[in-house]
Amino acid sequence: MTQLYDLTVPAFRRGFASLSAILKSGEAYAQEHGIAEADMLGTRLIDDMAPLTAQVQRASDTAKGAMVRLGGVPTIAMADDETSFTALQQRIAATLAFLDGVPREAIDGKEDAVVTIVTPSRTLDFTGQSYVLGFVLPNFYFHITTAYALLRMRGVPIGKMDYLGR
């Protein structure tokens, strides 16, 4: 049986590696084409959808939140105030450092643990396994994919293998 740690931390590491790489491509593209960094980072698919910066922040929050909820480890606060590609890369690095500090034993064996998420409109109850498979990983990949799509929409020459990781 695959342990929860193996379903989460390696997936997060790979996703953040891809996200970091596509952000580097986005930064280089913006510089080469005279696109203001704030303009590129503020890219949205539609007005009521969060911009590129928020996609990175939510991917980070998803990874951190999973470790906190499953492992009972203390979280680290991140202000969601990144306004540059450099700051987004620092956010990714800080999230990876946080993940590196989560012991495997804190996550493994929590497949049947109760995980409850309370939102303003509802309460969601999961087991550890259903939380990871039905909420955490889909949410994490949603934000990574959206970041990719935003950069691609702006013309950044990235493709599927950049998203998947080389």
Tracing tokens 């498979």 back to the chain, one arrives at: 133
Q: How many CB atoms lie within 10 A of CB 41?
A: 23
CA distance 82 to 103: 28
Among residues 54, 67, 42, 77, the alpha carbon closest in space to that of 128 is found at 67
Enumerate the domain spans of the chain. Answer: 4-164
Where residue 166 falls among pLDDT bands split at 50, 70, 90? low
The CATH number corresponding to 4-164 among 3.20.20.70, 3.40.50.800, 3.30.70.120, 1.20.120.450 equals 1.20.120.450
Question: Could you read off the pLDDT of 27-86 as tens digits, one per residue?
Answer: 999 999 999 999 999 999 999 999 999 999 999 999 999 999 999 999 999 999 999 999
Q: Is residue 1 pLDDT above 80, yes or no?
A: no
Name residue 123's beta-bridge partners: 118
Is residue 15 within 8 A of residue 59, CB to CB? The reply is yes
